[in-house]
Amino acid sequence: ELKVEQNPLFLSMQEGKNYTIYCNYSTTSDRLYWYRQDPGKSLESLFVLLSNGAVKQEGRLMASLDTKARLSTLHITAAVHDLSATYFCAVEDTVDSNYQLIWGAGTKLIIKP
Amino acid sequence: GAVVSQHPSRVICKSGTSVKIECRSLDFQATTMFWYRQFPKQSLMLMATSNEGSKATYEQGVEKDKFLINHASLTLSTLTVTSAHPEDSSFYICSATAGGSHDTQYFGPGTRLTVL
């Protein structure tokens, strides 16, 4: 059974700082997604990572995937207040459940001005 | 592109009534749609997967007679919460893919259901 763990679950940081959110998963998968959710809103797709060593960047966010370590990271560079949100990783289960997404618990990120 | 809408965005109903939530793909044909519910401060929980023209596949523990899903066309899926109770209050989110379940999911804006 595929399990996905995110950490930290909560992160409070100052503007201008760098930080990394980690997403570990337990079995082989071909796809990993990062989503952002603002309070009371739905999910916004940030990145989809498809292969080992994949790195994608959008603004101050950069996501990477190491399939051998079963680890993805979401790195925030020089954080700004607008990046405050909850970030979810989701891993596609290609073994047990016909490509269902297995979700991490989410990381609530608060960036203080 | 890849816009998914949901209607209504918020609904308040009395216990025992039924509520229908619509999920539409606006600019693509959605072969597969997913229905999730999310409790406050928690992650998403998949309720069911529906493919156009066929019966939905429900996740373990989800009552199919209570949560009726219809995926009648390639752009519309509906979730009907029958005989709603306060414990059904939640944030319901749909998502859709153009290329079947093995494709990027695009999420609707969600529907906040409150059952009094």
Residue B35 Cα, gap to closest chain A Cα (Å):
12
Amino acid at B109: P
Can you give the pLDDT at residue B55? 86
Integer-rounded Cα radius of gyration of chain B: 13
- Using CA atoms, how far apart are residues A96 and A107, in angstroms rounded to an integer? 26
Task: For an interface test with A, give the residue of B5, B43, B60 to mutate (most A CBs within 10 A).
Answer: B43
Q: Which residues of chain B have pLDDT under 70?
A: 1, 100-102
- Which tens digit of pLDDT belongs to each residue from A31-64? 899 999 998 888 999 999 988 889 999 999 999 9
**Displacement of CA A92 from its chain's centroid (Å):** 13
Distance of CA B8 to the CA centre of its chain: 11
pLDDT > 60? residue A3: yes
What pLDDT score was predicted for residue B100? 66
Q: What is the pLDDT of residue B1?
A: 65
Q: Is residue B82 classed exposed, middle or buried when 0-12, 13-18 and 19+ CB atoms within 10 A define those classes?
A: middle
pLDDT tens string B22-39: 999 998 998 899 999 998
Which chain B residues touch A44 with a CB distance below 8 Å? Answer: 107
B36 in Cβ contact with B44 (< 8 Å) = yes
CA A76 remoteness from chain centre: 11
Average pLDDT over residues A86-107: 85
Confidence of residue A65 (pLDDT cuts 50, 70, 90): very high
Among the partner residues B43, B46, B108, nearest to A42 by beta-carbon distance: B108
Please count the residue pairs, one from chain A and one from chain B, whose beta carbons lie less than 8 angstroms apart: 43
